[in-house]
A and B are shown apart, each in its own frame.
Chain A
Amino acid sequence: MSTVQTSMPAQAAAAGEPSLWSRLSGNRNWAAFWFMLPTAAFLILFLAYPLGLGVWMSFTDERIGRAGAFVGVENYQWLWDDSIFWLSVFNTLLYTLIASAIKFAIGLYLALLLNRHMPFKAVIRSIVLIPFIVPTVLSAIAFWWIYDSQFSIISWSLIKLGLIHSNINFLGDTDWARASVIFANVWRGVPFVAITLLAGLQTVSPSLYEAATLDGATNWQRFRFITYPLLTPIIAVVMTFSVLFTFTDFQLIWALTRGGPVNATHLMATLSYQRGIISGRLGEGAAIATAMIPFLVAAIAISWFGMQRRKWQQGSSND
């Protein structure tokens, strides 16, 4: 304390008022630099740099254990003529589109159900989230067993009910395999969508519904003209995340089918792993991964739009 008191007047006299202020603000930036350093180090070393490196690798013919030479767009030309790559693009879009649409529909429905008054509300809500807590691969393993070609419990039940006569080859038939992985993805994604939408629903004031009911609004009208408009911003954000994570899904497919049968469930991420790591053609794998970026940018742009609109609707400045 005493040192501060002795040194302060001397500096203030030498520098004067404005520079004292500038020194303070300088200090603040300097302090912020040290505070930001760990985060910046992690994100630059292991996120930004690899992101750039990935794009660069996609222009080389690098393989595992051998440095690559620049080959221009050769990888992309190769992929352009590769029917398996296009199949994986198609699969990824199909998987994302269908799974996200179902997740949204069931998730919103479940959120509306959970928002109603009932006994053991809190317990039921906690139970709903369990599929989201358990590691994807581990629940995928359970699905693998449920989808087993010989001992599937679904086939067994349907046969006992007399609906089918032989086992369904869930993961061996192309259409069934696609439907099966989509179902598993929906199963895991619904809790996330439902619980986040529920959080949005809880901010809607009940008095709005009461007023609408007094005016003679039907259930559907209450949903369409109160719930939906108020929920739109959070729906935009939640669905962007959902689309993003479904589009780049890897682990569920890898645990269930590894892209089979006959590449029917190969997503871009799994194809990239197979070409890049298993076959060792890092450059080609990186090209497939890089080809995902435009789709992701589009999704992020939509998310950005959703958030801006939300702020704008709330009329609050950025704080």
Chain B
Amino acid sequence: MTDSTLQSKTATGDDSEGMSYLESLPRRLVTLYLPLFIILVVLLFPFYWMVLTSIKPDEQLIDMEKFNPFWVVHPTFKHISKLLFETQYPRWLWNTMYVAVGATFLSIVASVLSAYAITRLRFKGAEAVGVLIFLAYLVPPSILFIPLASVIQAYGLFDSPLSLILVYPTLLIPFSTWLLMGYFKTIPYELEECALIDGASRWQILVKIIVPLAIPGLISAFIFSFTLCWNEFIYALTFLQSTPNKTVPVAIVNEFVDGDIYKWGSLMAGALVGSLPLVILYAFFVEHYVSAMTGAVKE
């Protein structure tokens, strides 16, 4: 038994970790597949519930005796169409997107510059600056939102999405800088020296050599930053007051909660539509996302 599995594995050139053939199938079932299955079900159930609720007709939502709540009989798109055509949801989606793209773009430009300076220019105190930027990553929004609210007020940016575009980079730059520093360090020095000898300026080196070589890192930084922006809540809650200016997370929490027993359909539809862009983006760039997350921790 073990011999044949071993042979079949080596024959197919499987990337198995050397010793898994020592385990029998029933044992693997109990120690691996069963716990994994339970954890996956728990992790995914809220999304299943979200999708199910958003396509369930109202009467099935509140009648759990006649209809099995785990399934839907006559799915309806009423909640989703109501959300998209009768509320300001498209506007909120647009705001979120606008803020996320703006803040991510600013952060990536700033991070490329600073990561390059720290890793390659070797200026005086570069290491200390690197450490300071790392420490900035550890300052949470929850202790900054009150003073920031008065700073934003003083700059006249209150209730404007622009305030978020300017504030979010403080969350994104430290992370992106550390991530990009890791990528820049892997680019050989010789390339840069050649360019210097050929008379390229620092700026040309950065734009024509370093940035094209660090594209995977830039994508990772972009995905991660974009997700963080979409997820951010406390600043958006504090700085944005008028309904049309809100971002999706803030609007969901504040605008749909009206004590209506039938609110759940549209609430879940709102949560679902708000999550989809990120899940789709993630599906395309899983590897980049994971390398961003683990890279920043390892760095």
Contacts and interface: CB of A to CB of B under 8 A. Distances in A.
Interface stretch (B72-80, B81-89, B111-119, B211-219): B111-119
B109 interface: yes
Given A39-B113, A292-B143, A113 B19 contact: no
A289 B110 contact: no
Interface in B125-145: 126-127, 129, 133, 135-136, 138-145
A17 B245 CA distance: 60
B3 interface: no
A237 interface: yes
Contacts of B150: 53, 57, 62, 282
B32 A113 contact: yes
Given A117-B16, A187-B46, A286 B233 contact: no
Contacts of B42: 187
Interface string B1-39: 000000000000011111110100000000011011001
B290 A195 contact: yes
Interface residues of A, number: 103
A151 B63 CA distance: 9
B110 A38 contact: yes
A139 interface: yes
B234 to A, nearest CB: 5
Contacts of A145: 49, 53, 264, 267-268
A54 B147 contact: yes
Interface in B45-77: 46-47, 49-50, 53, 61-62, 64, 69-70
B274 interface: yes
Interface string A186-199: 01001110011001
5 contacts: A129-B286, A129-B290, A285-B146, A286-B146, A296-B138
A51 B140 contact: no
Nearest to B271: A138
A151 B177 contact: no
9 A-B pairs with the lowest CB-CB distances in the bound complex, closest first: A32-B123, A35-B117, A199-B294, A248-B140, A269-B142, A251-B233, A38-B110, A137-B249, A54-B147
Contact of B278 (A106, A135, A153, A248): A135
Contact of B143 (A32, A129, A151, A289): A289
Interface in A41-65: 42-43, 45-51, 53-54, 57, 62
Nearest to A27: B202
Contact of B121 (A35, A51, A143, A210): A35
A127 B44 contact: yes
Given A28-B123, A43-B170, A296 B143 contact: yes
Contacts of A191: 43
A250 interface: yes
A199 B135 contact: no
A143 B46 contact: yes
Given A35-B117, A57-B147, A135 B249 contact: yes
A53 B270 CA distance: 37
B50 A196 contact: no
A206 B15 CA distance: 12
Given A113-B35, A196-B293, A251-B249, A35 B114 contact: yes
A138 B275 contact: yes
A289 B142 contact: yes
B116 A290 contact: no
Interface in A240-283: 241, 244-245, 248-251, 254-255, 268-269, 272-273, 276-277, 282
A43 B17 contact: no
A134 interface: yes
A164 interface: no
A110 B39 contact: yes
Given A42-B106, A130-B43, A187-B46, 16 more contacts: A29-B124, A36-B117, A38-B109, A43-B174, A47-B139, A51-B143, A124-B40, A127-B43, A130-B282, A141-B270, A145-B53, A145-B264, A146-B49, A254-B253, A272-B146, A273-B238
Q: Which of B139, B267, B278 has the most CB of A within 10 A?
A: B139
